[in-house]
Amino acid sequence: MRKAFHDELETVYSDLSAICGQVKVSVERATQALLTGDAALAEQVISADAEIDHQRELVEEHAFALLSLQAPVAGDLRMVVAALRMVSELERMGDLSVHVAKIARLRVPEVAVPVDVRPTVARMAQIAEYMVDKVVRIIADRDSAGPEELHAQEEEMDRLRRSLFTAMLGDDWPHGVEAAVDLALLGRYYERIADHALSVANRIVFVVTGEAAVAH
């Protein structure tokens, strides 16, 4: 019975890793749509979110079934509860990708990001993509050391967002209010994707060790 239970748990975590992989694709495609003004690609991201939502529902159903039928305790219970929290965060990351794609679609045929701040936004997107990709492997491998590698990326993300705001609030900002609002939102979306990625990674530390990850 316990082997069957642990096999089911492995399936849940395999599904979590797969959902995270879907989120990574969404982040990449949303960014490409944003930086190129590709409306069709933005639509792909928006449409694909329904599948991420569906996969989240399946994971939740599986996890609740394990809770009700197996009555897990201690470490097993920790794994199930953590899975429920992680899948919610993964879904939210997918939603944030959709928000990026919607800004891209809204500004077509123009590109939402002005040329002079495009390197900053592109770097923020690159960090978000790296962190999500790293979390795919952290979940799959139950890598409790993996989150340590993400803190530097999160700190760089924070610095980039601050620099974006500095540019937007400067007296010489030439792009108007509409572009500034778009960029404020985009900075927030990418920052939140990174925050959720680190949070999911830290939950793996809790799953493996039973202790909360050390804050930096």
* Domain ranges across the chain: 2-209
pLDDT at 200: 96
* pTM recorded for the entire structure: 0.94
- SS3 at position 133: helix
Q: How far apart are the first and last CA of the chain?
A: 40
Give me 135's structure tokens.
């979390």
- Say whether 80 sits in a helix, a strand or coil: helix
The model's pLDDT over 32-59, given as tens digits with 9 standing for 90+, comes to 999 999 999 999 999 999 999 999 999 9
Place of tokens 């809770």: 67
CATH 3.40.140.10 describes domain 2-209: no
pLDDT (0 to 100) of residue 67: 85
Residue 15 pLDDT: 97
What is the pLDDT, as a whole number, of residue 86?
Answer: 97
Q: Extract the residue ranges of the chain whose pLDDT is less than 50.
A: none
Number of CB atoms found within 10 A of residue 129's CB: 20
pLDDT at 1: 54
pLDDT at 111: 95
